[in-house]
């Protein structure tokens, strides 16, 4: 079985300096262009994908649609691929607004501490592990999973014990699962720790 994890492109929260996470922003024009480039590279992989699964957030759905249009594979929503809710009550606010309204929560966020309403690390880890089991049991030979940077980082850390240094906008990584082990086949815009 093969899984191609794809990160969405640049989204509105990136350019408006907002707390993203579960905030539901669209891709920017640059983000759409990034995904067109990624879709072209994905089609050049020569893989026959059975399905595209997407996070339910707009930026991921838009990215999945761009890929779908390029390779003619249908898209389904898969809730488990959602970004980590790292920002809690700060979600969607500009950093300036949040600093005025919730200064204590902003300080906690800066220190990587729990923010009210956010998803704890252990809950995210459990969600990713559950996603892994569900993906493997879907019966597909080859899946594209359109998701987010923290999901990809968590997957590689929790499932493959690999540290991801960077997941670029529109970055993707193809992995293969055989006999209880995963291996990386191709990576574009995703950097791993040596």
Any idea which residues carry the catalytic annotation? 8, 83
Average pLDDT of every residue of the chain: 95
The model's pLDDT over 119-129, given as tens digits with 9 standing for 90+, comes to: 999 999 999 99
Residue 24: count other Cβ atoms within 10 Å of its Cβ: 17
93-96 contacts, C-beta under 8 A, 24 or more apart: 93/18, 93/19, 94/16, 94/17, 94/18, 95/17, 95/18, 95/19, 96/17
Express each pLDDT in 114-164 by its tens digit. Answer: 999 999 999 999 999 999 999 999 999 999 999 999 999 999 999 999 999
Do residues 81 and 146 lie in contact, with contact meaning Cβ atoms separated by under 8 Å?
yes
d(CA 110, CA 113): 7
pLDDT confidence tier of residue 167, bands split at 50, 70 and 90? very high
- CA atoms of 83 and 5, how far apart (whole Å): 13
**Would you say residue 179 has pLDDT above 90?**
no
Q: How far is CA 191 from CA 33, 97, 117, 152, 181, in A?
A: 21, 33, 30, 11, 20
Distance CA 45, CA 51 (A): 15
Q: Which structural domains are found in the chain, ordered by start? A: 6-141+151-161 (3.40.50.1240)
Q: What is the pLDDT of residues 21-53, one digit of tens each?
A: 898 999 999 999 999 999 999 999 999 999 999
Q: So what's the pLDDT on residue 159?
A: 93
pLDDT digits (tens, 9 = 90+) for 46-102: 999 999 999 999 999 999 999 999 999 999 999 999 999 999 999 999 999 999 999
Average pLDDT over residues 6-18: 95
pLDDT score for 116: 96
């Amino acid at each position: 079985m093969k899984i191609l994890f794809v990160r969405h492109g640049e989204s509105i929260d990136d350019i408006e300096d907002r707390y993203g996470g579960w905030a539901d922003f669209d891709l920017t024009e640059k983000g759409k262009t990034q995904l067109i480039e990624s879709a072209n590279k994905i089609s050049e992989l020569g893989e026959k994908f059975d399905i595209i699964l997407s996070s339910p957030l707009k930026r991921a759905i838009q990215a999945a649609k761009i890929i779908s249009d390029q390779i003619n594979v249908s898209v389904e929503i898969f809730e488990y691929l959602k970004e980590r809710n790292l920002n809690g009550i700060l979600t969607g606010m500009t950093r300036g607004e949040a600093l005025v309204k919730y200064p204590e929560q902003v300080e906690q966020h800066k220190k990587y501490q729990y923010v009210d309403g956010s998803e704890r690390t252990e809950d995210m880890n459990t969600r990713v592990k559950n996603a892994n089991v569900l993906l493997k049991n879907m019966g597909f030979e080859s899946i594209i999973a359109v998701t987010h940077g923290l999901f990809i980082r968590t997957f590689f850390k929790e499932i493959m014990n690999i540290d991801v240094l960077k997941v670029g906008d529109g970055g993707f990584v193809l992995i293969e699962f055989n006999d209880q082990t995963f291996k990386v086949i191709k990576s574009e815009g995703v950097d791993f720790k040596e």
